[in-house]
Structure 1
Amino acid sequence: MNNDSFAAAWGPRMLAVLRIVTALIFLEHGTQKILGFPPPTGPTPPVFSLFWVGGFIEMIGGLLLLVGFLTRPVAFVLAGEMAVAYWMVHAPQSFFPALNGGDAAILYCFVFLYLAVVGPGAWSIDTSRRRSGAAPAANDRLRST
């Protein structure tokens, strides 16, 4: 098998692995803020505070990304959330991400932007619906315009 056929066969699968692993780790941040699991190091945020809303977005968005449903629009929203988190919380502490603790927010932002552009990969509800001929999901309609 040459490199092109290997990449063609495994590229979509590895994209799905990237999406699933990223979603699982991201989901954990949301459940920590909303459900208190895993146990947070500090208090959970008050209901409807900015941090609570962020946790809710992380929890629901993480679940949707995990199963690959509405991947493109969800990933775009999550990229925006991470950009806001970086500039509001981390950047004011220091210019350098290694010092301000914003490394993860930056990486999440750009992984989510990547997913918003390329889609969910091989194993997802979006891909399954597209293959079965079901009505196109919202993210498929957006791409065709």
Structure 2
Amino acid sequence: MAVPVRASEAILGSARPWVLLAFRIVVTVLFLLHPASALGLLDGSAPAAPMIAISAVEIVCVLLVAVGLYTRVAAFLLSGMMAFAFFVIHTSAGWNWIDNGGEPAALYCWVFLLLVVLGPGPLSLDRRRLGD
């Protein structure tokens, strides 16, 4: 015997693909500020040479996440990059996430790991590419 579905669960279930799409887009817009800043696009400063390559990878990967193309791979790379940034760069200034500036890196690490697990959802180019 089937258990009746509550109306709120049905409504939330139908909104899930759209919320996941909005989540991917909002995360992309917010995250893009970081490589743009590292490249000096926000303040006109000259970027350090290693930051050019790192920022280019971040920009390409996060744009893939936004459109939902190779999402799990791109999100995995971004999650790893953010974990590296937190543990190697930020913790050298101490373990307090607020004081060492590592809070955004830690948060983005988990956000992208969540997208690795959840995938891009039905409103994505991956869905079209894989024919699901």
Q: TM-score, normalised by structure 1?
A: 0.78
Alignment of 1:1-145 (within 5 A): 2-34=7-39, 36-39=40-43, 42-46=45-49, 49=50, 51-130=51-130, 133=131
Shift of 1:60: 0.8
Deviation of 1:28 after TM superposition, in Å, equals 2.8
Partner of 2:3: none
Q: Secondary structure at the match of 1:56?
A: helix
User: Counterpart amino acid of 1:65?
Assistant: V
Task: Give me the CA root mean square deviation.
Answer: 1.9
Which of structures 1 and 2 has the bigger CA Rg? 2
TM-score when normalising by structure 2: 0.85
**Gap regions ≥5 residues in structure 2:** 1-5
Q: How many residue pairs were aligned? A: 127
Is 1:75–1:115's contact at 8 Å kept on the other side of the alignment?
yes
Q: Following TM superposition, by how much is the alpha carbon of 1:24 offset from its aligned partner in structure 2, in angstroms?
A: 1.7
Q: 1:29·1:59 contact (CA, 8 Å) conserved in 2?
A: no
* CA deviation string 1:53-98 (max 9, x = no partner): 3211111112111211100111011000000001111111111101
Give the deviation of 1:119 after TM superposition.
0.7
Residues 35, 56 of structure 2: 8 Å contact kept: yes
Contact 1:23-1:63 within 8 A present in 2 as well = yes
